[in-house]
């Protein structure tokens, strides 16, 4: 099965649901090379032109692979086509500040993890009001945070910055979106101990930051 055939099969399932229930984001894997990235981009643009429910493009994979400067043209073309952009960023302490600032210069709509942003990067994120995708279970299991008490979600909650609660990958982390929200409600040290009103506000922010089907885009 080709990559395009695979995407079409997945979209057939996604499009069984209403637009406000399901959409697809294509991921560019940092461990692959320019030839595959270009193929994936061309598939994404083709599906977008056809009006399929492909909503955005993501950058993920091994966070220590590839020079991210080569991705600029890929994301510029995706943005021109009306696709949303989300980037896994600053996932580990080994990711450099230079790389983080380079990724932020691509003006992404959302950021995956953003665990180790320095002060300058946080300032940019705050100024641009860029949504942070929060994956509590993933961060704990991958040990990028020591506990929920020190999780960077608190920094953004304290200033009402947009966040979206996500699973990262439901199968390997054995979680669901409902389970991630349960961590918001659970009392410390098992959760963040937020009130129902606070969790409702987080859910509203997540909804407002979702990638939407844009009518009339190429």
Q: Which residues are catalytic?
A: 91
Q: Nearest to residue 89, comparing CAs of 72, 107, 103?
A: 103
Sign of CA dihedral 135, 140, 144, 147: positive
> In the chain, which ranges are continuous DSSP H helix?
3-14, 34-49, 72-80, 97-104, 119-128, 136-141, 153-158, 177-185, 196-208
The answer to whether 104 and 125 have CB atoms below 8 angstroms apart is yes
DSSP string, 33-63: -HHHHHHHHHHHHHHHHTT-SEEEEEEES-T
Using CB atoms within 10 A of its CB, is residue 178 exposed (0-12), middle (13-18) or buried (19+)? exposed
């Amino acid at each position: 099965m080709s990559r395009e055939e695979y995407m079409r099969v997945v979209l057939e399932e996604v499009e069984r649901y209403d637009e406000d229930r399901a959409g697809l984001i294509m991921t560019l894997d940092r461990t692959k090379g320019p030839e595959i990235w270009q193929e994936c981009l061309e598939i994404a643009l083709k599906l977008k032109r056809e009006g399929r429910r492909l909503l955005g493009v993501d950058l993920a994979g091994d966070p220590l692979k590839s020079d991210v400067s080569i991705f600029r043209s890929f994301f510029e073309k995706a943005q021109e086509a009306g696709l949303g952009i989300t980037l896994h960023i600053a996932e580990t302490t080994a990711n450099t500040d230079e790389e983080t600032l380079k990724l932020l210069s691509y003006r992404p709509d959302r950021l995956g993890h953003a665990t180790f942003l320095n002060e300058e990067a946080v300032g940019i994120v705050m100024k641009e009001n860029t949504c942070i995708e929060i994956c509590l279970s993933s961060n704990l299991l991958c040990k990028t945070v020591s506990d929920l008490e020190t999780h960077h979600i608190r920094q953004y909650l304290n200033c009402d910055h947009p966040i979206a609660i996500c699973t990262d990958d439901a199968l390997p982390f054995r979680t669901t979106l409902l389970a991630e929200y349960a961590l918001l409600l659970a009392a410390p040290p098992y959760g963040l101990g937020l009130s129902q009103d606070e969790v409702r506000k987080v859910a509203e922010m997540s909804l407002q930051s979702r990638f939407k089907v844009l009518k009339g885009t190429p």
